[in-house]
Structure 1
Amino acid sequence: MDFNDSPEEAEFRAEVRAWLAKNAPEGWRERMAAGQVQEVCKEWQRVKYDAGWACLSWPKEYGGQGLSPIKSVIWSQEESKVAPPSAAMLVVGLGMTGPMLMVHGTEEQKQTHLPPMARADIIWCQLFSEPAGGSDLAALRTRAVKDGDEWVVNGQKIWSSGAHQSDWAILVTRTDPTVPKHKGLTFFIVDMKTPGIEPRPIKQISGAAHFNEVYLTDVRIPDSNRISAVGNGWNVAMTLLMNERLAVGASGGAAGGGVSWDGLFELARSLEDDDGPLINNQAVREKLADWYVREAGVRNVNARTLSALSRGDTPGPESSIAKLIQGPQKQNMASYGMDLADMAGGISDPDLAVQRAAYPWTLLGAPAGRIAGGTDEIMRNIIAERVLGMPGDIRVDKDLPFNQIPTGGKAA
């Protein structure tokens, strides 16, 4: 694969850099550190949309620009240097729901939901995981029962990022418990203002409350909000989850935030021990070199996957590689940065700490990135089975009707 720009690509990159130099928002890091993440990301998305730089590889009729895959990659490379990263609230829409709708949505659903999604006028969340169905998503128990032209939904979801601040949600439910668990699922989109939907934020170890429990009680969803055929929810969910792992891996790990390789490099340059700047320490340089190589590999994996996505292909299991690497790497870099800063590394007050306390706050938030979008263990299974072709785990319940799967000594 040739990573050098062609003359046309080099011209486009120069155009992107020139526009970003004039229009990238000022002070966005400080605003985000002060808790204005949503405001900053929505404002920047709208600036891009209005200027014709949002969702470059999406078709024009859906709010994009219809540009080539490589131009979308070039934009992302240059934007990441000077502008706000996508917050989780935008990733669910732009990185997951949008690509899923383009594959499985009706034309009316695409026309209705994609343009406002591209401009961040509508914020999306994900109603997937449940107390009894997280890593094993197909074990979910939220029921949807047909009632005329509507579906009545009852159940509970958990770990739903930003649900308390979102406008719409993607929802997977069980519509037929008499067939094997992967075959009885149906996928919907739902307005979060629908009566019967109750998000309850969950307090995290960092003190923040990004995640939610969401209770659904007699929620009525019109059949027009169903995505694909009844019973095809697992296939729709797999399209979305492949995009989710790409988005999470590209963004550095959900809820990880804060620490970057560039920031850690600057920290090592700025700090000294008895022998001089830490950047001259061989052990420090080896750590930085190892993490740089890993980040470069992730960027190249993501570039390939983004190209496939822009061609209309569904991202493959390779997107799990970036997701698996980035979560632990964020955690390890945060811990190492705290060690480099010695006793100052544990200061959590942004006004007093090095690099506005990015290291302790990232260390507290990083474990979420190793769970969101699939745990490390699930990612390793996917890579082993679907990338390397190794034998799969034995799944004794795979072909059993869902209502015959034992649970707690009783049938489901």
Structure 2
Amino acid sequence: MDFSFGAEDEELRARARAWLTEHLVGPYARATGLGGPGSEHEGVAARRAWERELGRGGWIGQGWEVPAGAYGQQRLSLTGQVVWAEEYAALRAPGRVGHIGENLLAPTLIAYGSQEQRDRFLPGIARGEELWCQGYSEPGAGSDLAGVRTVAVRESRRGAAGLFRVTGQKIWTSLARDADWCFVLARTEAGSKRHRGLSFLLVAMDQPGRVDVRPIRQMSGTSEFNEVFFDGAVAAEVVGGEGEGWSVAMGLLALERGVSTLVQQIGFAAELERVLAAFAASGGAGASGGLGDSAPRDDPVLRDRLVRQWAELRTMRWNALRTLGSVGDDDGAPSVAKLLWGGWHRRLGELAVAVRGAAASAGPADWAPGLPYELGLDEEQRLFLFTRADTIYGGSDEIQRNIIAERVLGLPRETR
């Protein structure tokens, strides 16, 4: 299998690097390295402005299945999108705040929405002006998404045809505090159960008194996720038709793990490099016993774990490149990818603190009680704490294994 890039891709690489170098100046330069999973609270204003800068450059929506320039965007091949992502990561450009709209909502509208919906929402995403969040998980419906209890009732007032009133609670909603819109999976058929009677609705977040966002403080001290309460919020758009929400939602989840999986792995590689650098700086010292071992020593077991972590990441990258063109064709492929990277990233967090040894249990020397908790954590500690959730959010490992067992291996379905 040839994993190299062609001459056209390398020309794009040079153009992308030149554009990023030219535009990553001023406040954008100060925002380099900020944002992303575990750090979504960092530099939000600068990153939101950066999103508009990307839009002016035509770099948003490169993979949309629409004609080039239809919404002001460039149209790049799959390998071209990977090249752009590699250069973006190499220069540590600000973490994206528009990725949910660009990579989840937009492809879903292209696949399932009406032309009117595409014309209404895609330009704002392509310009980096409208940000989105995802309203799927609920307190009683996380990985088991069919348990959704948020309801949407069709508005009966004269002149309100087509409107729904949404009532319910969503949880673990990334970027909800900054989003302009939320796509919401809600039950529109009274008395329906499981996969039936669900609809995929588009809800404006700026509805005071009807949409309430409450940050969830995590053990890392930051608030990446939010609870969102809907109290009669208006939804004017249904994507894919009323009652077809399950099909649309599943289609979106398949789209979620295409090129974005490779982009994610580029970030993983940078994190692994920092852990390896810390190990090298220690002279190969570590703590095989974990946090409780206060006697640093040359540790062949830790060295082996680091080598294995590097090899697994390379293998995940090659597998992602191999399957990139067929993402979504195989029901099992998305589940396999999530299962692999979730466990890998969690183990990286464990390695990050193991390399530090006993020092990983203490904060920086200048931190004191009374200061914000998150200021007492360094990068390795935040990585360890945040990655505890990697095997849970986005579909738990248990759910992923069930999907693979039933849909791919053909094993008997779990008793319901």
Is the pair's TM-score, using the shorter chain for normalization, greater than 0.5?
yes
> Aligned residue for 2:58?
52
Q: Distance in 2 between matches of 1:314 and 1:108?
A: 27
Q: Distance in 2 between matches of 1:165 and 1:16?
A: 28
Q: Distance in 1 between matches of 2:106 and 2:122?
A: 6
> Aligned residue for 1:319?
334
**Secondary structure in 1 matching 2:340:** helix
Q: 1:186–1:230: 8 Å Cα contact kept in structure 2?
A: yes
* 1:215 matches 2:229: yes
Q: Distance in 1 between matches of 2:146 and 2:40?
A: 39
Q: Distance in 1 between matches of 2:204 and 2:366?
A: 39
Q: How does 1:130-145 map to 2 (within 5 A)?
A: 130-145=138-153
Q: 2:196–2:243: 8 Å Cα contact kept in structure 1?
A: yes
**Secondary structure in 2 matching 1:344:** helix
> Aligned residue for 1:300?
318
* 1:235 matches 2:255: no
| Alignment counterpart, residue 413 of structure 2, candidates 389, 393, 396 | 393
**Secondary structure in 1 matching 2:218:** coil
* Aligned CA-pair RMSD: 3.2
Q: Distance in 1 between matches of 2:311 and 2:148?
A: 38
Q: Give the Å deviation of 1:201.
A: 1.7
* 1:266 matches 2:277: yes
Q: Give the Å deviation of 1:369.
A: 2.6
Q: How does 1:5-404 map to 2 (within 5 A)?
A: 5-24=5-24, 25-29=28-32, 32=35, 35-58=41-64, 59=66, 60-84=69-93, 86-87=95-96, 89-148=97-156, 149=161, 150-195=163-208, 196-222=210-236, 225-246=237-258, 249-250=261-262, 252=264, 260-272=271-283, 282-304=300-322, 306-308=324-326, 316-349=331-364, 357-386=378-407, 388-396=408-416
TM-score by length of 2: 0.81
Per the alignment, do residues 135 and 191 of structure 1 end up closer, same or farther by CA in structure 2, a change over 3 Å counting? same
**Secondary structure in 2 matching 1:164:** coil
Q: Distance in 2 between matches of 1:227 and 1:173?
A: 12
Q: Distance in 2 between matches of 1:86 and 1:314?
A: 29
Q: Give the Å deviation of 1:233.
A: 0.4
Q: 1:31–1:37: 8 Å Cα contact kept in structure 2?
A: yes
Q: 2:168–2:230: 8 Å Cα contact kept in structure 1?
A: yes
Q: 1:302–1:319: 8 Å Cα contact kept in structure 2?
A: no
Per the alignment, do residues 336 and 126 of structure 1 end up closer, same or farther by CA in structure 2, a change over 3 Å counting? same
Q: 2:33–2:94: 8 Å Cα contact kept in structure 1?
A: no
**Paired residue type of 2:148:** L
**Paired residue type of 2:409:** G
TM-score by length of 1: 0.82
**Secondary structure in 2 matching 1:61:** coil
5+ residue gaps, structure 2, are 287-295, 368-373
Q: Which structure 1 residue ranges, 4+ long, deviate > 6 Å from structure 2? A: 256-259, 350-353
Per the alignment, do residues 172 and 166 of structure 1 end up closer, same or farther by CA in structure 2, a change over 3 Å counting? same
Q: Distance in 2 between matches of 1:306 and 1:262?
A: 25
Q: 2:86–2:263: 8 Å Cα contact kept in structure 1?
A: no
Q: Give the Å deviation of 1:265.
A: 1.7
Higher mean Cα deviation, 15-24 or 233-242? 15-24
Calculate percent identity across the aligned residue pairs.
31
Q: 1:141–1:155: 8 Å Cα contact kept in structure 2?
A: yes
Residue-by-residue CA offset, 1:119-148 (whole Å, 9 max, x unaligned) = 331111111111221121111111112224
Q: 2:211–2:228: 8 Å Cα contact kept in structure 1?
A: yes
**Paired residue type of 2:338:** K
